[in-house]
Amino acid sequence: MDLMNDKLPKIKIDKKILFIVLISFFSGLIGGFLGNYLAKDFTIVFEKFKIGSLQQFQQKESSEYLPQTSQEDAIISTFKDVSPSVVSIIISKDLPIFEEYYLNPFEPFGGDPFGFLIPQRRQKGIQKQEIGGGTGFVVSSDGMILTNRHVVSDKDAEYTVLTNDGKRFTAKVLARDPVQDIAVIKIDENNGLVPVKLGDSDKLQIGQAVVAIGNVLGEFRNSVSVGVISGLGRTISASGGGAVETLEDVIQTDAAINQGNSGGPLLNLKGEVIGMNTAMVLSAQNIGFAIPINKAKRSIEQVKNLGKIVYPFLGVRYTLINESIQKENKLPVDYGAWIISSAGESAITPGSAAQKAGLKEGDIILEIAGERITTDNSLVKIIIKYNPGNKVNLKILRRGEEKIVEVTLDERKE
Residues recognised as catalytic = 150, 181, 262
Cβ(139)–Cβ(196) below 8 Å: yes
| Cα distance between residue 89 and residue 2, in whole Å | 123
Stretch (H or E) spanning 382: helix 379-383
- The DSSP code for 316 is B
Chain Cα centroid distance, residue 21: 88
Report the DSSP beta bridge partners of residue 246: 237
| Cα distance between residue 256 and residue 188, in whole Å | 31
Q: Is 182 helix (H, G, I), strand (E, B) or coil?
A: coil
φ and ψ at 116, to 5 degrees? -75, 120
Chain Cα centroid distance, residue 275: 6
Cβ(364)–Cβ(336) below 8 Å: yes
User: Count H helices, E strands: the chain?
Assistant: 6, 21
Q: Is 152 helix (H, G, I), strand (E, B) or coil?
A: helix
Q: Is 120 helix (H, G, I), strand (E, B) or coil?
A: strand
| Cα distance between residue 358 and residue 406, in whole Å | 10
Stretch (H or E) spanning 135: strand 118-138
Using alpha carbons only, give the angle 296, 301, 303 rounded to the nearest 5 degrees. 95
Neighbouring C-beta atoms of residue 214, cutoff 10 Å: 30
Q: Cβ-count burial of 290 within 10 angstroms (0-12 exposed, 13-18 middle, 19+ buried)?
A: buried
| Cα distance between residue 198 and residue 293, in whole Å | 7
| Cα distance between residue 218 and residue 408, in whole Å | 44
| Cα distance between residue 90 and residue 127, in whole Å | 16
Question: How many Cα atoms sit within 13 Å of 389 on the Cβ side?
Answer: 1
Question: How many Cα atoms sit within 13 Å of 256 on the Cβ side?
Answer: 10
